[in-house]
């Protein structure tokens, strides 16, 4: 019955994203009244709805961009907002985007030769769940099947991409690009025996290489130690780039939420996560509640607090405390992060939201490279992470 209603809503809905209503202006103050007036508590704005409506007003499903992980991340956040609000426009928009790439027979024009290209596959699983249309299963299965031949390190970690420039490399980013898709695919299509084990293995392998003594993860690891950025002894990248660590943090929560309590690697994953959480608390900026672009060098004048990773860490710490993966006090650490991110959100003169200080897409580099990255407004990395965070914390 639910799927039938959704199909009806999707069929009957006409997308008019270019003419979406802007956020309402603040109401004028009431006229002066005689006698006492009872003050009413201010109602916090629904920032998820505001961000989604603003973004849908800026882009149609055709102009939002190609098949990519930043758009996929944003639309996953939009789906979380849909799940709460049941606003049919939000799901129809996602479907219109995906249907640009998935044909009626389930074919999809992607080679899936990089983990980055797999992240938007979560939308395929979502649309199958919501509509029951088999073409989304067929498209998602192409990613699942690609993983059987995808190149790996000697201990089984997926390379970041099947290209010469990424050969033998594990990037913390990649942990989020494939593992949430895996566990969700397994749950939707009855393949969890494989997908849960694979996702737990990937998080274990990535964590064992990337996490260092201070609890944080380096951006990347090269098993061949031949990359220009790789330490000749360890193969590790030189810095702790915040969004790379953020990707891993969110992936860890998603995987722990999915795998069974008796999964053999669960205790190791919890150990990695708890060590990481302690480091996140240590390196959180006490002045703003956010985290720095290069995480452990916040004392440098040219470093800056970055909004997407701050949203990611806030989500992971809040969810981790809620689920019992972390000590309950991390909920307070997350609340400081949440208020810090909200301080970067504003409403412009056009009535639409603006989310500031988001690092654009980034390769592996040195300190100067990271702090020199463009600080964008409304970049999809930040918008998607914000929505995921806000749907977790908005009710606190």
What is the four-CA torsion angle of 269, 272, 275, 281, rounded to 10 degrees? -80
Q: What is the Cα–Cα distance from 318 to 328, expressed in whole angstroms?
A: 9
- The distance of Cα 168 from the centroid of its chain, to the nearest Å, equals 24
Q: What is the Cα–Cα distance from 118 to 124, expressed in whole angstroms?
A: 10
- In DSSP terms, which residues pair with 220 in a beta bridge? 171
| Residue in 392, 225, 394, 216 with CA at minimum distance from that of residue 321 | 392
Q: What is the Cα–Cα distance from 185 to 368, expressed in whole angstroms?
A: 39
Among candidate residues 173, 222, 254, 379, the one labeled active-site is 173
33: left (phi over 0), alpha (psi -120 to 50) or beta: beta
**Which two structure tokens, joined as six digits, stand for 71?**
């758009």
**Which two structure tokens, joined as six digits, stand for 278?**
């302690």
Angle at the Cα of 51 from the Cα atoms of 322 and 16, rounded to 5 degrees = 130
113 is catalytic: no
- In DSSP terms, which residues pair with 305 in a beta bridge? 292
The catalytic residues are 173
């Amino acid at each position: 019955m639910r799927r039938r209603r959704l199909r009806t809503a999707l069929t009957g809905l006409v997308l008019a994203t270019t003419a979406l209503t802007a956020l309402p202006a603040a109401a004028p103050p009431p006229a002066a009244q005689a006698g006492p007036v009872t003050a009413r508590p201010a109602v916090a704005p629904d920032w998820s709805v505001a961000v989604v409506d603003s973004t849908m007003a800026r882009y149609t499903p055709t102009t939002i961009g190609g098949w990519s992980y930043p758009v996929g991340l944003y639309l996953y956040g939009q789906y979380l907002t849909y799940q709460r609000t049941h606003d049919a426009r939000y799901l129809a928009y996602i479907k219109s985007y995906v249907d640009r790439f998935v044909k009626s027979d389930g074919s999809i024009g992607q080679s899936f030769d990089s983990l980055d290209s797999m992240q938007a596959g979560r939308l395929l699983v979502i649309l199958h769940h919501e509509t029951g249309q088999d073409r989304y299963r067929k498209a998602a299965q192409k990613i699942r099947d690609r993983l059987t031949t995808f190149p790996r390190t000697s201990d089984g970690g997926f390379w970041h991409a099947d290209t010469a420039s990424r050969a033998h490399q594990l990037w913390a980013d990649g942990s989020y690009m494939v593992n949430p898709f895996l566990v969700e695919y397994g749950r939707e299509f009855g393949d969890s025996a494989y997908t849960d084990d694979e996702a737990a293995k990937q998080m274990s392998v990535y964590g064992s290489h990337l996490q260092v003594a201070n609890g944080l993860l380096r951006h990347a690891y090269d098993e061949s130690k031949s990359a220009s950025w790789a330490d000749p002894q360890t193969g590790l990248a030189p810095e702790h780039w915040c969004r790379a660590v953020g990707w891993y943090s969110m992936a860890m929560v998603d995987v722990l939420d999915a795998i069974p309590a008796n999964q053999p690697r669960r205790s190791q994953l919890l150990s990695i996560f708890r060590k990481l959480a302690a480091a996140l608390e240590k390196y959180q900026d006490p002045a703003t509640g956010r985290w720095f672009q290069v995480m452990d060098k916040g004392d440098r004048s040219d470093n800056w607090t970055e909004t997407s990773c701050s949203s990611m860490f806030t989500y992971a710490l809040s969810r981790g405390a809620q689920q019992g993966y972390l000590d309950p006090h991390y909920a307070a650490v997350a609340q400081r992060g949440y208020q810090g991110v909200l301080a970067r959100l504003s409403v412009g003169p056009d009535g639409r939201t603006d989310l500031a200080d988001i690092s654009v897409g980034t390769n592996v580099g040195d300190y100067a490279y990271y702090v020199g990255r463009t600080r964008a407004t409304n970049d999809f990395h930040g918008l998607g992470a914000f929505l995921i965070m806000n749907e977790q914390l908005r009710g606190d």
